[in-house]
Amino acid sequence: MNLDLALRTSIQQAVTALFNQQVEQLQIQPTNQEFEGSHTLVCFPLTKISKKGPEQTATAIGEYLVVNSGIVSRFNVVKGFLNLVIADKVWVEVFQSIFANKNFGLLEKNGREVMVEYSSPNTNKPLHLGHLRNNFLGYSVAEIYNALGFTVHKVQIINDRGIHICKSMAAWKLYGNGETPQSSGLKGDKLVGKYYVEFDKNYKAQMKELVEKGMSEAEAEKKAPIMLLAVEMLQKWEAKDEATVQLWKAMNGWVYDGFESTYKRMGVDFEKLYYESNTYLLGKEEVLRGVESGVFFKKEDGSVWVDLTSDGLDQKVLLRGDGTSVYMTQDIGTAILRFRDFPKIEGQVYTVGNEQEYHFKVLFLILKKLGYKWAEKCYHLSYGMVDLPSGKMKSREGTVVDADDLMQEMADDAEKQTREIGKTEGATDAEIKDLSEMIGLGALKFFLLKVDPKKRMLFDPNESIQLQGHTGPFIQYTHARIRAIIRKAESMGVKPTKSELTQVTSLEPAEREVVFMVNNYINKLSEAARDYSPAVVANFAFDLAKGYNHFYQSIPIFNETDQAKLKFRIAFSQVVADVLKKSMRVLGIQVPEKM
């Protein structure tokens, strides 16, 4: 049964019967801990209809519900708040339908399609902590929509083209001595990243030298020999010079291999990859088409611009004077290409840091001006930077936290703690490794996902490896403990069936509370989808685990002599484990059978 709907309908009936008026909007919220009840109707807004004080209004509705609804057993009124006590038999019924539904928490396909873009790194640097937040967020949002019945396409755009990759290429050519991942054993993305740093180092040294010889800083920036080489390579690449394209392919290949292993460990995946080198030309075409149709304009030097001043923004360049494309150009092309590839998607979600808010505002406006209606359904999932206790991550200062290193540290630390606690009796080393990986990554993902994406967050390494409290492992542990109960029940031959559950007529407060939470799961998922916030699900899972632990501690299940109650509690535990698993699943976190 759908309790929320039933309750809402009953209250609407009450209002109609008592005050002879219809209401659409009802404010129903969870009852505060200090009062009896689970659902609270806020009655202040109803006083206009009832023409009575808030307390009398609440009392009248409460009395009506107890007599007529068949759901509400008692009520109390505090100021304008009507606190409702749902009858235990109703709770049992609610639970029964959840228990009977194997696919609880997974809605049927609704025929709608969306696309979620995330990750989208540059190919000149290895992935770091910021990418982890990005990937976990994007992946989770996609999984949340998927659970709600949407068909979701996970994609990314790979910025494989442009001056940045040419910088790595230039440095490699000058100082690489033919180094490859095979020759040095270095992971491909790390190797290319090394030469990007190498470029920067030499570039700065050359600039300094030129400035000392009396050149202006601005000129030195352009005239440094290594930069001239990078620019030359970019031009050669655009002209499809064979040797340059070869090197470009080789170096990008190394990066992709490196990224692939990182993604695999992160547990994220993509349906389709888009490459800037394949989309920028389409973007260029679209821009030129826009010039013809008068949406954009050309300046004397040949550069193409869009004027967004009437939208409160500035003028923005779309093609350089020499006809080459900028970042915006390729994003236009990519967006259009994606809607051609997946004509049924209604919109796109771009998981990109908040420093690009302006960029996406402009992009969506441009697409709209080009006449694409779907532009309005595009959403920039903008998230805050991840700070370290020492402040911002800065590549120049070497304070960047590498994604591979961090995952390894988390797994190592989880293993250390797992062995210290010493519950792994009988487990093989490989099993302990697997478990530690699950716990370490669970801790990391939960840590990054529990915070509202919009907010900038602090990553404290010491706190992130904590496995107690508001953490992923806390939830994983709760799941493992429940599984132990289920195993025991099975070995005892206790297997609850749907029809047996209704033999239970009264519940413990802790049980009621947990059924309430479980029943709210879909609402939470929807809320998370609406706000593009996995944090909603993360906090739900944590609250559910906490609620269950409270029950676990206060009620020893197998001491129960009443068979009906025993079976109910086994079923109840099973459902909690299932919902914990599913909610963690959409966060990309696995849960163990034992830990």
Partner RNA sequence: GGUCCGGUAGCUCAACUGGAUAGAGCAUCAGAUUUCUAAUCUGACGGUUCGGGGUUCGAUUCCCUGCCGGAUCACCA
Please report whether residue 151 would count as binding RNA according to CB under 7 A.
Answer: no
Binders of RNA among residues 101 to 140 (CB under 7 A) are 122
Please report whether residue 267 would count as binding RNA according to CB under 7 A.
Answer: no
Please report whether residue 223 would count as binding RNA according to CB under 7 A.
Answer: no
Binders of RNA among residues 303 to 322 (CB under 7 A) are 303, 314, 317, 320-322
Measured from the CB atom, is 5 or 102 closer to RNA?
Answer: 5
Measured from the CB atom, is 159 or 252 closer to RNA?
Answer: 159
Q: Which stretch binds RNA (CB under 7 A): 89-97, 205-213, 460-468, 577-585?
A: 460-468
Measured from the CB atom, is 287 or 345 closer to RNA?
Answer: 287
Please report whether residue 555 would count as binding RNA according to CB under 7 A.
Answer: yes
Output the DSSP codes for 414-457. HHHHHHHHT--TT--HHHHHHHHHHHHHHHHHHHHHSS-TTS-E
Amino acid at 318: L
Q: Which stretch binds RNA (CB under 7 A): 3-11, 221-229, 481-489, 493-501?
A: 481-489
| Structure-token pair, residue 239 | 């002209």
Compute CA distances 36 → 4, 75, 332, 448, 509, whole Å: 18, 8, 56, 36, 10
Q: In the complex, what is the shortest distance from the CB of residue 178 to RNA, in angstroms, rounded to a whole number?
A: 27
Own/partner contacts of 238-242, CB < 8 Å, gap of 24 or more, are 238/324
Number of residues located near RNA, criterion CB under 7 A: 95
Q: What's phi and psi for 411, nearest 5 deg?
A: -70, -40
Alpha carbon distance 351, 368 (integer Å): 20
Binders of RNA among residues 273 to 292 (CB under 7 A) are 276
Please report whether residue 222 would count as binding RNA according to CB under 7 A.
Answer: no
Please report whether residue 357 would count as binding RNA according to CB under 7 A.
Answer: yes
552: number of Cβ within 10 Å: 18
Q: In the complex, what is the shortest distance from the CB of residue 185 to RNA, in angstroms, rounded to a whole number?
A: 28
The distance in angstroms from the start CA to the end CA of the chain is 35
Please report whether residue 162 would count as binding RNA according to CB under 7 A.
Answer: yes
Please report whether residue 327 would count as binding RNA according to CB under 7 A.
Answer: yes
Q: Which of 452, 500, 502, 522 forms a contact with RNA (CB under 7 A)?
A: 452
Please report whether residue 215 would count as binding RNA according to CB under 7 A.
Answer: no
Q: What's phi and psi for 157, nearest 5 deg?
A: -110, 130
Amino acid at 390: S
Provide the β-strand partners of residue 42: 81
Q: Which stretch binds RNA (CB under 7 A): 129-137, 148-156, 220-228, 471-479?
A: 471-479
Q: Which of 539, 574, 583, 590 forms a contact with RNA (CB under 7 A)?
A: 539
Compute CA distances 407 → 125, 132, 192, 468, whole Å: 17, 10, 20, 18
Binders of RNA among residues 13 to 52 (CB under 7 A) are 27, 29-35, 40, 42, 44-45
Alpha carbon distance 580, 572 (integer Å): 12
Q: Which of 15, 85, 98, 480 forms a contact with RNA (CB under 7 A)?
A: 480
Measured from the CB atom, is 322 or 341 closer to RNA?
Answer: 322
Q: Which stretch binds RNA (CB under 7 A): 130-138, 200-208, 245-253, 470-478?
A: 470-478
Q: In the complex, what is the shortest distance from the CB of residue 261 to RNA, in angstroms, rounded to a whole number?
A: 22
Q: In the complex, what is the shortest distance from the CB of residue 550 to RNA, in angstroms, rounded to a whole number?
A: 4
248 touches 262 (CB < 8 A): no
With b meaning 16 or more CB within 10 Å and e meaning fewer, what string describes 198-234?
A: bbeebbeebbeebeeeebeeeebeeebebbebbeebb
Please report whether residue 580 would count as binding RNA according to CB under 7 A.
Answer: no
Binders of RNA among residues 425 to 444 (CB under 7 A) are 435, 439
Beta strands in 16-140 (DSSP E): 28-30, 39-42, 72-78, 81-86, 113-117
Q: In the complex, what is the shortest distance from the CB of residue 372 to RNA, in angstroms, rounded to a whole number?
A: 20
Please report whether residue 8 would count as binding RNA according to CB under 7 A.
Answer: no
Q: Which stretch binds RNA (CB under 7 A): 86-94, 134-142, 220-228, 450-458?
A: 450-458
26: number of Cβ within 10 Å: 15
Segment holding 139, helix H or strand E: helix 129-147
Strand, helix or coil at 372? coil
Please report whether residue 535 would count as binding RNA according to CB under 7 A.
Answer: yes
Q: In the complex, what is the shortest distance from the CB of residue 416 to RNA, in angstroms, rounded to a whole number?
A: 10
Binders of RNA among residues 378 to 407 (CB under 7 A) are 384-385, 392
Please report whether residue 505 would count as binding RNA according to CB under 7 A.
Answer: no
Measured from the CB atom, is 66 or 186 closer to RNA?
Answer: 66
Alpha carbon distance 518, 514 (integer Å): 6
Alpha carbon distance 168, 125 (integer Å): 9
Binders of RNA among residues 402 to 421 (CB under 7 A) are 414, 417-418, 421
